[in-house]
Amino acid sequence: MAVYVDDLLIMGQREEDIDEVKDLLKNRYQMKDLGVARRFLGMDIDYAEDGSIKLHLKRYLSALLERHGMSECNPVSTPMDPSVRLIPAGDRDGLADAKEYQQIVGELQFASLVARPDISCAVGTLAQFNVNPTSTHLGAAKRVLRYLKGSADWELSIPRHLEKHRHSQMRIGPATERPGDLELGMWS
């Protein structure tokens, strides 16, 4: 069960168990059953015929790009530019709008935690500069937005059965692409 303020997501392997939990909660609290989850906290949830679950952020990313005036930006193929070295602000560096920078980084953190682990390293690096961000830092944050523009249709695919103690086939990438997708290993 996942709870966020007044939103509740109940998950289980057997529908009978889920119904029992819902009935117990309905007897105690006023609640409305919205059926099978299709959207939760900004993430869209799709269910494939093979039983896998697909999480994506297409609507969230579209709104994010719009909020920061980057709807029409040119996409890039990597979240970070390897030729740009991010360092703390010096005396001669032009400072960026800290509020804008922190907002972008926070929104990117949400995306990386929910369904876009491919940007986690970039976001972790950017988060180190939330105090006194420079124009270089803001440019690097906006580059991640440009990367997301080009990969907005990517999804995180979670197989129906995650095998314990074994590399899983969880993957992130375009729904149409199979070879070469970024695969995430899950171990326990």
At 4 the pLDDT is: 84
Cα distance between residue 69 and residue 74, in whole Å: 12
Chain segment 139-151, per-residue pLDDT in tens:
999 999 999 999 9
Q: Which whole number is the average pLDDT over 122-137?
A: 96
Continuous H helices in the chain: 15-28, 58-67, 98-114, 120-127, 135-150
Q: Which whole number is the average pLDDT over 91-97?
A: 86
At 12 the pLDDT is: 83
Given a cut of 60, is residue 180 above it in pLDDT?
Answer: no
Chain segment 30-59, per-residue pLDDT in tens:
888 888 889 988 899 999 998 889 999 999
More confident residue, 174 or 112: 112
Provide the whole-model pTM.
0.82
Listed as own residue / partner, the contacts of 140-143 with beta carbons closer than 8 Å and 24 or more positions apart are 140/80, 140/81, 140/84, 140/86, 141/101, 141/104, 141/105, 141/108, 142/68, 142/70, 142/73, 142/104, 143/76, 143/79, 143/80, 143/81
At 162 the pLDDT is: 64
